[in-house]
Amino acid sequence: MVRFATPKLMQFSKIKANLKYDLPAGIVVFLIAVPLCLGIALASGAPLFSGMISGIIGGIVIGTMSSSHTSVSGPAAGLAAVVLVAIQTLGNYEAFLLAVMLAGVFQIALGFARAGSIADYFPSSVIKGMLTAIGIIIILKQIPHALGYDHTAEGEEAFFESDGSNTFSSIWAAITQYIHPGATLVALAAIGIILMWDKPFIKKRLPFIPGALVAVIMSVLANELLKTMGDPWAIRPEHLVTIPVANNMQEFLGQFTMPDFTQWMNPAIYTTALTICIVASVETLLSIEAVDRIDPQGRITNTNKELKAQGIGNLISGLIGGLPITSVIVRSSANIDANSKSKVSAIFHGTLILVCVAFIPTVLNLIPLAALAAILILTGYKLAKPKMFKAMYANGKYQWWPFIITVVAVVFTDLLTGVGIGLAASVVSILLGNMKNAYYFKKEKYHDGDIIHIHLSQEVSFLNKAGIKHTLDKLPENSKVLIDAGGTAYIDFDVLEIIREFTELKAANKNIQVRLRGFKDEYAIGDYDFVEYESANENINAKAFEPKEKSVLN
């Protein structure tokens, strides 16, 4: 008797096969997430435990419901200032929690309204600039922590810091006044261990043990040894992870807080909720767009489903005392760097936070912040490698200038402000570069079996990205499509990426045969020659889909 594997069984088998990658990746993300959750709660003026609640919900609840395979959610630094002002305005934290719950309801509504399509309007130059800038910020912000100067909360991203200093002045103060030899040694050793662990002779022998975990364990053991020796290089408690410790389960459960539902008639609650909803949704969509671009498997997230998942997460987080949650680039990129394969890593990281905070917080409080800073510095470098600057410069001035303006703006302001400046620069670039002629996009309707013709006009700009993406995504399965650029003088880089992505990835999933015609060699996207037409209506016989010479898609 022949047994056929059901879809559920196949999915389970795939999850089981990926555990050897996802569980180690979840540990790495967990190590990074713990101090970030605490630091963002501190910067927000909220109870420290509220950050841990958000990390737990972001991992377990949103991780389970999200359609993203790589995104990791939790409290976001970009919302810290909003939360701080909101708590002060509303008068108490319990009233603020009601606003967080309502923000979640608003996000769910946005998901059903299909507002996730806003992500399609983010230019790739701005997204790549944002990713690069985040990498630079991570490196700059973690240098003081690596040197033992922990005056700012972990996870702070804004250039101007809460104590009046800025990113560069903090680095200078750390180097000239506050450098701690023990913390510095731990950070350097941790960087060395992680880099060594990536070498083939170790990676092949111990492929499923993350170097970051080894670095953290070694840093804890080294510091405990220094403390027993009474060495002045020993790292003091203020430079270690500091999780609130409950003496029993009752104290642990007492750290969860309920909203003040008596405030539901307060207009300020709704204003705050709407603000949180907008900021959190924009940050999530930016993060999802960025993370999808660096996913090695090229998987695409359903942004409308993601908004619903984030909304449910924020609804639950507000109900039990947590901070607002978004998809977070730092954690997500660390998740990808750790070679995760599915969202099991995000769920596992949330589970680890819950278990460790509930049962072994004192163990986590032995971890030096300098060791975690080392992990983040290497994560930042992978986001901001020099080759990204070279690649964007090679793409031409209409990609380079929005990219570099976004990088500078995000580094010297904050994420949302910088991205806004980058978007403005991208619009100016488009207007100057490729809005000379009107754009048209033509899609004719054909009977089943006929070929769908998509003709690109003389000038195809980024403004047409969303429309073209929508059209390609809606093409029927098992169809034949001809994309004709024969009369096109200019195609924007973003549109070329959409066409390349459709041709190489999406079309195969829907069994769509795609042929390209008229694309210039400089586009490096491939071009096929066609044989004669059958009739004046441009129906093409089956032989037309046999290329004379297959081009390599870059």
Task: Give the C-alpha separation, 390 to 375, whole Å.
Answer: 25
Residue 2: pLDDT above 80? no
Residue 542: pLDDT above 50? no
Q: How are beta strands 73-75 and 480-484 bridged, if at all?
A: unpaired
Q: For residue 327, what is the enclosing H or E element?
A: strand 325-327
Residue 162: pLDDT above 80? no
Do residues 333 and 383 touch, judged by C-beta distance below 8 A?
yes
Task: Give the C-alpha separation, 98 to 66, whole Å.
Answer: 23
240 vs 446: which has the higher pLDDT: 240
Strand partners, 515: 482
Pick from 342-351, 394-403, 476-485: least confident: 476-485
Do residues 534 and 540 touch, judged by C-beta distance below 8 A?
yes
The pLDDT tens digits of the residues spanning 11-55 come to 667 777 888 889 999 999 999 999 999 999 988 889 999 999 999
The pLDDT tens digits of the residues spanning 278-312 come to 999 999 999 999 999 888 888 889 999 999 999 99
50 vs 494: which has the higher pLDDT: 50
Pick from 396-410, 423-437, 440-454: least confident: 440-454
Confidence bin at 8 (pLDDT 50/70/90): low
Do residues 278 and 286 touch, judged by C-beta distance below 8 A?
no
Q: What is the pLDDT averaged over residues 485-511? A: 85
| Predicted pLDDT of residue 449 | 57
| Predicted pLDDT of residue 102 | 97
Confidence bin at 344 (pLDDT 50/70/90): very high
Residue 537: pLDDT above 50? no
Beta-carbon contacts of residue 504 (< 8 Å; ≥ 6 apart): 298, 553
Residue 359: pLDDT above 70? yes
Instruction: Spell out the domains of the chain, with CATH numbers in brackets.
Output: 18-381 (no CATH), 385-434 (no CATH), 441-545 (3.30.750.24)
Do residues 204 and 390 touch, judged by C-beta distance below 8 A?
no
What does pTM read for this prediction?
0.79
Tokens 């290329």, residue located: 547
The pLDDT tens digits of the residues spanning 248-261 come to 888 888 899 999 99
| Predicted pLDDT of residue 520 | 82
Task: Give the C-alpha separation, 421 to 390, whole Å.
Answer: 22
Task: Give the C-alpha separation, 155 to 388, whole Å.
Answer: 24
Q: At what angle do helices 493-501 and 465-473 cross, to 10 degrees?
A: 10
Q: What is the pLDDT averaged over residues 179-185? A: 93
